[in-house]
Amino acid sequence: KNEVEQSPQNLTAQEGEFITINCSYSVGISALHWLQQHPGGGIVSLFMLSSGKKKHGRLIATINIQEKHSSLHITASHPRDSAVYICAVEGGGGADGLTFGKGTHLIIQP
């Protein structure tokens, strides 16, 4: 089964800072998902990518297939970005092919 590691586990930053969250995995994959979960809330898909880079508003996701690594960047961070960010990979095991990381808990202070 694919091993998915996210770093950091917890991150506290000031409003306006540039944020980077990392995801590494152990076995080759076909795609990677970035998900967002607000406190007490549901889970929302931010990106699904298999190569290169995707951008949506202030969020940027990149993936390096050779290095088995992905990053999620948040530019001009805002308190409403406070959430848990979850990386999930497709391929390399798991009953339905998906393996989830444990999440990165981000707090943006005003």
Partner 1 sequence: NAGVTQTPKFQVLKTGQSMTLQCAQDMNHEYMSWYRQDPGMGLRLIHYSVGAGITDQGEVPNGYNVSRSTTEDFPLRLLSAAPSQTSVYFCASRMAANTGELFFGEGSRLTVL
Could you tell me how many residues of this chain bind partner 1 (CB under 8 A)? 24
Q: Say how far apart CA 78 and CA 35 lie, in whole Å.
A: 17
Q: Does 4 bind partner 1 (CB under 8 A)?
A: yes
- Return the residue of 32, 33, 70, 83 that touches partner 1, per CB under 8 A: 33
Nearest distance from C-beta of residue 82 to partner 1, angstroms: 18
Burial status of residue 96 (CB atoms within 10 A of its CB: 0-12, 13-18, 19 or more):
exposed
Answer positive or negative: Cα dihedral of 43, 45, 50, 54. negative
Which is closer to partner 1, CB of 77 or CB of 89? 89
Which is closer to partner 1, CB of 21 or CB of 77? 21
Q: Say how far apart CA 62 and CA 55 lie, in whole Å.
A: 9
Q: Do 8 and 100 touch, CB atoms closer than 8 A?
A: no
Phi, psi of 80 (to 5 degrees): -70, -10
Q: Does 2 bind partner 1 (CB under 8 A)?
A: no
Which is closer to partner 1, CB of 60 or CB of 97? 97
Give the footprint of partner 1 on residues 36-75 (CB under 8 A).
41-45, 48
The site for partner 1 (CB under 8 A) is made up of: 4, 30-31, 33, 35, 41-45, 48, 86, 88, 90, 94-103
